[in-house]
Amino acid sequence: MVRVELPAHLCRLAGVGHEVTVAVDASPVTIAAVLEVLEHDYPALEGTIREHETKQRRAWLRFFVCEEDWSHIGMDAVLPPAIVSGKQPLLVIGAIAGG
Amino acid sequence: MSSVRLLVGTRKGGFVLTSDGKRQDWKVEGPFFAGWEIYHMKGSPVDPDRIWASQSSGWSGQVLQRSDDGGKTWNVAGNKFLYEGEAGTHQWYDGTPHPWEFKRVWHLEPSLSCADTVYAGVEDAAMFKTTDGGTTWNELPGLRKHGTGKDWQPGAGGMCLHSIVIDPTDEQRMFIAISAAGAFRTDDGGGTWKPINKGLHSKYIPNPTAEVGHCVHHIAMHPSKPKTLFMQKHWDVMRTDDAGENWSKVSGNLPTDFGFVIDVHAHEPETIFVVPIKSDSEHFPMEGQLKVFRSKTGGNEWEPLSRGLPQKDCYVNVLRDAMSVDRMDECGIYFGTTGGQVYASPDGGENWQAIVRDLPAVLSVEVQTLP
C-alpha cells in the first residue's frame, strides 16, 4: 500500500484525513500510477492534482519523495522502495503562495 | 409565510443566509468549501433545493458542487471543461495572439425548465452546458468559434463569460456577456451566436464602436419584458428594447457611470438598480459614501439610496454578480461588497441593513424566494 499525504484543501474536498493509502497494482510504481488509483478511489480529486487532459501536474502543487522534490522529475519516474512499501509517504504539497 | 435564502460566494468559501419574509433576522451558515474561491452559487428555478456552486483555487483548479437539499449537504459534480476541437487564440493584453486556456467557471445559470440542465460561463470565455445534472459538461462551441473570437481580449479580471440571461418566453434565446468582447445572443439554444453591441461606445478601444471588444460588466432582464435588457458597461449604463439589436445610453444624472452590478426590480420592469463606482482605476464609491442608485424610469433619471449604508470612509467595491432581488410582495434588494458586508433592503431600496459584516470579499450574491 502506498501512503499519500494531501494538502488540507484536497483532504476536505475528498472527505479524507491528512493521509490516505492506495493499493497500486501497476509495476513499476510511478507517481502517475499512484495518482491513477488515487483518482479512482476518490473521484473528487480528478483534475485537482493533475490536469484532466494533459495529465500534467498542476503548477501550484509539488511532489516530494523521501525528502526530495520530484516535481520536475516526471510522472513516470519509478518510485523508490520506501514509498512503494509504505514506509514513507508520497507528499503532495501546495506551493506557498498568496501572501 | 415565504422565506428567502441568500447564496453568497466569497474569496474563501460559500455562505448560505436565510430569513423569514420580514427579512430582518438572518441565520448565517458556512463557510462551505472553506479556503476555496466560490465565484458563483445559484439555485434551480425548477427545484430550489438544487443549488450549484463553482469552487476554484489557484492550486487545484475547478471543482463543481451540487446540493440537493438546499445547501445542507453537497456532492462533487463533474469538473471536466474541455474546449471542443482546436482551442485557437484570442488577443492577449498586449494585442498578441494567446491560446485559449480554461481557468474557472464564473457563472452558473440553471435552466428554467429542467433541473438537470445548467449553463456555465467560463474563463477563458466560452459557454458549457450539462444536461445530466452536472456529471458531464459540453461546450457550446458556436460562441467561441464565432468569427470574432480572435479579437476578444481579457479585461482586468480575465477573459470571462460572466453573464447568462435566458429568455423565459423562449429558452432557445439566451443573452451572454464577456469581458472584454461584449454581448451576444443566440436564438437556437446556443448553436449560433450574434454579437449585439450596436450603440455601445468604448473610448478605450481602437474603434470605439467596434462589433466586439467592449468591456460589458453585467446585463439584466425583467422576465415580463424579455426584449428589454439593461447593461452596466465598464463605463456607461445602457438599455435595449429590441433584444440587443440597438443599445442606448441611460446613464443620465448618475454621478459616475462606471460600475459592475445592475439589476431589475422584481415587480417593476422599469425600476433598475446600480452601484456607481468612482472609476476604472479607483474601484470604490465616490467620496467614501456607499450609495445604490435607483431609476424608476428605466434609466436616465436616477435617485440615490443610502439610508442604512455607510456614508463615511467606505472604500469597498461591489462586483458584477454581487447583486440580486427577491420576489417577495415588497421586493428585497441584496448586494455584497469586497469588504465582506452583505446589505439587504426589504423595501425596494428605501432602507438598508448589513445582514452580515465580516465575510471574506464577496464575489456573488443570489437570492431564492421560497414558499
Asked whether residue A97 carries a pLDDT value surpassing 80, the answer given is no
**A7 inside 8 A of chain B by CB:** yes
Asked whether residue A84 carries a pLDDT value surpassing 70, the answer given is yes
Residue B206: predicted pLDDT: 87
Structural domains in chain B plus CATH codes? 3-370 (2.130.10.10)
A98 CB neighbours in chain B (<8 A) are: 58
Give the pairing of strands B262-264 and B248-249: unpaired
DSSP collapsed to 3 states, chain B: CCEEEEEEEECCEEEEEEEECCCCCCEEEEEECCCCEEEEEEECCCCCCCEEEEEEECCCEEEEEEECCCCCCCEEECCCCCCCCCCCEEECCCCCEEECCCCEEEEEEECCCCCCCEEEEEECCEEEEECCCCCCCEECHHHHCCCCHHHCCCECCECEEEEEEECCCCCCCEEEEEECEEEEEECCCCCCCEECCCCCCCCCCCCCCCCCCECEEEEEECCCCCCCEEEEECECEEEECCCCCCCEECCCCCCCCECCCEEECCCCCCCEEECCECCCCCCCCHHHCCCEEEECCCCCCCEEECCCCCCCCCCCCCCCECEEECCCCCCCEEEECCCCCEEEECCCCCCCEEEECCCCCEEEEEEEEEC
Partner residues linked to B340 by β-bridges = none
Contact B61 A61 (CB under 8 A): no
Q: What is the pLDDT along chain B (371 residues), one digit of tens a residue?
A: 699 999 999 999 999 999 999 999 999 999 999 999 999 999 999 999 999 999 999 999 999 999 999 999 999 999 999 999 988 899 998 889 999 999 999 999 999 999 999 999 999 999 999 999 999 999 999 999 888 988 899 988 899 999 999 999 999 999 999 999 999 999 999 999 999 999 999 998 889 999 999 999 999 999 999 999 999 999 999 999 999 999 999 999 999 999 999 999 999 999 999 999 999 999 999 999 999 999 999 999 999 999 999 999 999 999 999 999 999 999 999 999 999 999 999 999 999 999 999 999 999 999 999 99
B79 CB neighbours in chain A (<8 A) are: 46-48, 52
Window 72-91 of A, Cβ < 8 Å to B: none
Q: Which of B73, B76, B81 to mutate to test the interface with A (most CBs of A within 10 A)?
A: B76
Residue B94: predicted pLDDT: 86
Nearest CA in chain A to B60: A48
d(CA B240, CA B145): 25
Q: Calculate what percentage of chain A has a pLDDT beyond 70.
A: 97
Asked whether residue A99 carries a pLDDT value surpassing 60, the answer given is no
Partner residues linked to B14 by β-bridges = B9, B32
Q: Which of B158, B191, B194 is nearest to B176 (CA)?
A: B194
Contact B80 A47 (CB under 8 A): yes
Residue B86: predicted pLDDT: 85
pLDDT band for position A35 (cuts 50, 70, 90): very high
Cell numbers standing for residue B235: 463605463
- Give the closest of B57, B76, B80 to A9, CB-based: B57
| B318 touches B283 (CB < 8 A) | no
Residue B93: predicted pLDDT: 87
Residue B159: predicted pLDDT: 95
Residue B297: predicted pLDDT: 98
pLDDT band for position A98 (cuts 50, 70, 90): low
Structural domains in chain A plus CATH codes? 2-94 (3.10.20.30)
Q: Which of B179, B32, B55, B190 is nearest to B111 (CA)?
A: B190
> What SS3 class is residue A69?
strand
